[in-house]
Structure 1
């Protein structure tokens, strides 16, 4: 599924679960820089926005509400991700705001968040560098969750994903029936589960709603997970 469609669905999902200032902040705060981060960095890494929360409300050390650009929660790990432009964060004319921002970041670490600062200029000039750094940062956390038993796929699901990978990313239910010796109803059940998990995408027959095959959605963690 194209990024624009997935991004719209993701935002609508969060808007429907918010009201008042929390909803208004999402509509006002998720702008160009934040959208560019999701499209140029997060989407190429994961292929989905699962567990990524935009304009996430936390309380600062004074108990005042504050909205982080993104919070990503995976198992016991929490990351607070901020897209930072040059001007607002070094302006000498607003020292109070700058000081409060530094205090807030320290407090977020006390509250159990790992802070990730993403330079806005880097998003425009070299998003591949941010991708590389973020992969190096997140991979140990994902592997730790897997080691603690938080594996994202059952054995059958992993077998189906391996088959899809061997077939250049496209797989028909009949391939799984023959390859794994399962009945068709069971195969369709697991393939639908993998669609819900964002790892497969149904591909309909042209001009019809009938699904003929499924496309594999790749992730940078595929080698470790499968």
Structure 2
């Protein structure tokens, strides 16, 4: 039995032992091929552990009705729900009422602080490398393990903010987004310029040499996933 298989058996056994009634029955019925394939081909190669993952995780929706998500990742500081969706049950065979309820449920979960991430079964089975890439990009914003230094985390967020803003960012935007004072925001932006990730753009009115904004260079875009 390889590393994943052994870890999966123990992980599932531990969760079954901690549940009773319908919660246990739901886990026995619900954690099947698609969910295990996601763990084997996407999660395990990326994370190397099943820690903080909860299969068939119960959530009460806005009506007080229980809903069981395929997987929840609860490392303590964030809450993620992962859904593996086959085309048939989630698209082709779904009626309008169930479709509306699914969208409302996902919006509700986002509203109570749970990030909802859905992958198609086809991608999990046939393009797990793409799923890994997208998941790595998403989770890297919430993991401190890759960058324990606070300055690196702040600068990475500045790069992401500039990327979202179309390639540039102003000090005031950094101050607002990261709740920094002006001097600290400018210090981090200047450090990024020194690293070759940004270029300072001056006011173009012939009267002032004041920096107007900072433009993200291609090197900065390429470095997002490395920090």
Per the alignment, residue 142 of structure 1 pairs with 143
Instruction: Give how far 1:146 is off.
Output: 4.5
For residues 1-226 of structure 1, the aligned pairs below 5 Å read: 2-91=3-92, 94-143=95-144, 146=148
Moved over 2 A (4+): 143-148
* RMSD across aligned positions (CA): 1.9
| Equivalent residues, number | 150
Contact 1:74 1:142 in 2 (8 A): no
CA distance in 2, matches of 1:107, 1:130: 24
TM-score (norm 2): 0.62
Q: Which runs of 5+ in 2 are unaligned?
A: 151-225
Structure showing greater Rg: 2
Instruction: Give how far 1:147 is off.
Output: 5.7
Contact 1:72 1:78 in 2 (8 A): yes
Q: Structure 1 residues 92 and 21, CA, compared in 2 at 3 Å: closer, same or farther?
A: closer
Q: Structure 1 residues 93 and 21, CA, compared in 2 at 3 Å: closer, same or farther?
A: closer
CA distance in 1, matches of 2:62, 2:99: 15
CA distance in 2, matches of 1:140, 1:58: 24
CA distance in 1, matches of 2:149, 2:22: 39
Q: Which has the higher contact order (CA 8 A, sep 6+)?
A: 1
Instruction: Give how far 1:93 is off.
Output: 5.5
Instruction: Give how far 1:91 is off.
Output: 3.0
Per the alignment, residue 167 of structure 1 pairs with none
Q: Structure 1 residues 142 and 29, CA, compared in 2 at 3 Å: closer, same or farther?
A: same
